[in-house]
Structure 1
Amino acid sequence: MHKLKQWYQDLNLQSKFTLVLLLIVSIPAIAIIFFFYGKAYDMVVSYTIRQEQDRSAETAPLIEESIQKVLDVSEEISSLDFYQTLFKNALTESFTDLADSPDAASFSRKVDQLIAGTPVTNVKIYMEVPKDSPSDINALFDKEDLKDTFLSLDQVRGTYWYGIFRGSRVSQLFCPSFYLGTKEQKAYGDQAYITHASVIYKNGTYDAYMAVYYSGHDFQQILSGNLTLDGSVSYIMNERNNLVSASSDSLAGIYWLDYDKIMESYMSSNSFIEQDILGKTVYVGFYRIKQTGWFMVTVLPSQPLINQSNILVLQFLSIYIAVLVLAFLLASTLSKSITGRISSVISQMRTVRHGPPVPMDSPSAHDEIGDLIDTYNYMTRKMNQLMEKQAQAAEDLRIAEFNSLQAQINPHFLYNTMDMINWMAQQGRTSEVCNAVQSLSRFYKLTLSRKKGISTIAKEEEHVSIYVHLQNMRYHDSISFISDIPDELMEYQIPKLTLQPVIENSILHGILEKPSKSGTIVLTGWMEDGDIVLLISDDGVGIAPDKLPMILSGEGTSISGGTNIAIYNTHRRLQVLYGADYGLTYSSDVGKGTEVQIRIPAKRDETSGETPKPL
């Protein structure tokens, strides 16, 4: 407890204010969450059941409407004169005469008219054939106008619905698909409303059945539209405990309820009831289809409801977290308005540890803190002025040193080249002098093509190629020059006249010191840790170990007695421009040759020849 108290006391004022305000907001919200979580499931169940009740109240009339259209078609056909003559009274004429009557000629046409625009897909009348006059009744089966409607009862004797009629003596029957024969389902419709009729003929009574076929797919679509919850199912069952239609046959099989249990539940409640099916809690609602004795059953499994309640809680938590973040921002803003001015002064003063001081905005209030800010700003301005003057002086010195070093290199190279041209002129080699002057002109055109001192590796490679060419003109092509720099390095930046002094040193103090006066120079390069490394190697006489450290110091002389001023200036330029980690590195083996590594930072040429300001 003491440590907690000490921790709180050590907090700054803004943190203390923020913490207190967050606790004020959080504690009531956490209490609400615990209360809300226990009620969330009940709320989701009640809401979902109410939704399903509303949908079922709309769905059941749609099914009843479809059934009523089927019943209307059946009743209207039954009221046609030809039907009345055939089934309602004893026949006083033969089937042949009846088939030839005007009513028979229009009967099938009127049937087609009645079923147009209804769910009915076909109408068939199945008639028992009298044993004593089978040929007479065939007139109904063979007559062109009637043969598509009237069929022999023998075609359906094996069906389930015919067995029901024969066994229970019902007068009408709504038939799900499995009641019908295979031919009926394929040719006429997968469900049917069938009514029984009798033909009284020659003192005998014969059975007849009118089957009004329709598609159960319409019921399936209506039932599927009844559902709002994933994993739920709606199905219709008849009084014989058979499935009529379902939004999902597989789910209907899982959540199947007995008809008697449904009837019992329906009589005791008109709302959804909780049931246990296969060890799972579900909510079941029942709606009776008036004309048929069917029940529409809707089953809502509990797991999706639990998932919905969890989602609801997560949504609440998300909203709460958003409110908590908003509360934190408000608390932070409020506390900062109290402590911010003091904290800003302290923070600004701390920046002095890592860099130059930065002035603050002028205070809006001129109290003690305002006076402190004004004093700090005055001190900051004075310090920054002194630091800027010091930095400018150092920068001017570095730029002057860079320009001075570069100026020392250019006359040195020009002197050596003009000496070579003078020598050829003395020899009377006019064409070669012309060639040399053209090459020298091209060399200086490349050198002076940019006002500043930064070029590209590609340009520098061309410079030294021209230089070696000029030297070969003097020394009878005794120098082989091989350039193997990867193409991807060619457009990177490099200070002008970086390669030429090194190549010149390799020729004059390396290869030409050999007895054969001939040799090879290889120029290559690679990328290494974000830097570019260029390697110039020759097979000259090499450099003695005691003289090697003095090459980059600007002291000492070469083997032939010359100075190392060009090499020193090149190395010094790179360090002035890029820093102490860059420049030239020499290694040599006496009698075998010398290698020079030139390390520069990898910077692409994106400034159209303008030199970046030295570091």
Structure 2
Amino acid sequence: MSKLKTAITRITDSISLKAKIQLIFFLFLIIPLLLFTLISYLKTNRLILSQTLSYMSQSYDECVSILDRYFLSMSNSMDNILSSEDIYQMAENGMHNPVLARQAQYHRLNQLFGYMKKVSDIDRIMLYLKSSTLYVQNEQSLLSLNAFENSEWYQSLLKQNKSRFWLPPGYITESDGRPSPYFSYVSILYSPQELTQPMGLMRVDISQNKITQILKDVPLSEDVTICLTDETASFFDRDGKAGDFSYADITDSSTSAGQHQWEFVAYRDEKYILRSESLVPSGWYLTAALPRHSIFSAQHQLYQDLLTGLFLIGVISYVLACITANSSLKRLYFLNKEIKKMEKGDFGIHLTPSGRDEIGEIMNSFLSMSRRMKEMIDERYEMGQAIKSAELNALQAQINPHFLYNSMDLINCIAIQNNVPQITEMVAALVRFYRLSLNSGNETVTLRQELMHVKTYIQIQNMRFEEKIYFSCNEEEWMDNCIIPKIILQPLAENAIIHGILENENQTGRIDIRFSREHSPSGKDEIYIRMKDDGVGMPPELLERILWEDCSHQGSGYGVKNVNVRLQLYFGPNYGLCYKSCQPGGTEVTVHIPAVTADADSETRKSSPM
């Protein structure tokens, strides 16, 4: 869990604040709304489907019940009629019976036919007999079979080796040559002596208009296809036509598609809800099919309108959120821009605080802080400049009065006692030393001038102490261009002579100065000046505090601490002096400064805030 939290934090920390706001907008507004819409859509789908199927089942079952009542009425009427002996006697011996007996039979049959039509839902009862002449034909109820024996529909019935048949409208061709407009239940009457020899045909009819009206009265939408079908296809629909429904067009369903229950099937490349229920006529079914899209069409339209509304709300909310976020981010952008300028040392802040929110408060606080920092830096710079000027003035006013007095005294002694050329050399060295010290009032000198200054100082000291100091150094071409604050090496050399070399037993020693130019790990060009002597060295307690305490009262003249402070004020806290010493063994001091040229120093001073 902690690793996941860390990974999420790492990802969110790596993207911009604007992207975070957009991400929050989508995660906590758009996505929840979409999920809510999706869940409600699915639940509404199930509810609509359940209610639709419940309503359709009720209407469908009622239609099946009515149709079964009509067809059962036809079947029962056929059974009742065929239970009369007059039917078979007339069919078998009608032409051989006396005329009065035949008329009595015809009369009884007509009464039976009329009664059955009265007490049932059937519309017509017809008896076809094998006779060329019938003496009585009442309302065309008794007809001759001879006229139909060679018809296609009659021959097709004989070939099926059955006695009873359910026939749809149009299957039978009437005597006038037109298709029958009736649903017919037909029974072929076979001779008792020869079971394969037909002697008549009994027919019970219901008008197709009644069945059509039943199908039309089913309270189902116009999108529902409801029809009578056999094992393969439809043969009668709401319009009284055969219809175009076919089981062969059904795919992706079980073999008993829709029997006794509603089932989703693929019908002609479209999803349908299908149900098929068997009727009284064997092999006949009432089939209802409804396109799935029609169930959810109103819901789809509703949710399309809802999604459109959600989209518009989302766009408007996003635009408003972006305007609000951009207002805050714009202020943060300007604030960040000014912070980066200040990081680079540019305190020319151009920022106008706006707003009373947290960002406005941060802008006000940053502006106050930047002004205060600029004031403090200016104060410190001015203080540093004042300190350096004061120290330089003090140094120039009193550069070791004892040294000056002793040197002048030495000149006087030499002049009186020896009258030799050393006087000229001494005077020239003094003149050169003070000229380099003053440097026409400039605060910096080149490294070569600083080296010449310390050389002159050691030359004068050798005249004083009888050449007891051995001096060596290296010189590089780049020393003519790189600068350093003046009078840096002379105080260090003075300390090395007075507190190191002259405290040796023989009061002699060596001073070695090495200049090197190196690249730091950060890529900066830096200079190291290492001055090493072989004097008595310093104790550890003095080594620890020499850079932080004023030791000039101990006779070191211009203190090492002041040299270190001047270097750090001029170049920064990363530069200055570093001491190493051991007793015995001498002392090594390293001057660490950046490689600054005279031209670069001049440009820096022009651009520095005052």
Please state which band the TM-score falls in when normalised by the shorter chain. 0.3 to 0.5
Give the TM-score normalised by the residue count of structure 2: 0.41
Q: Which of structures 1 and 2 has the bigger CA Rg?
A: 2
Select the structure with the greater relative contact order (CA < 8 A; seq sep ≥ 6).
1
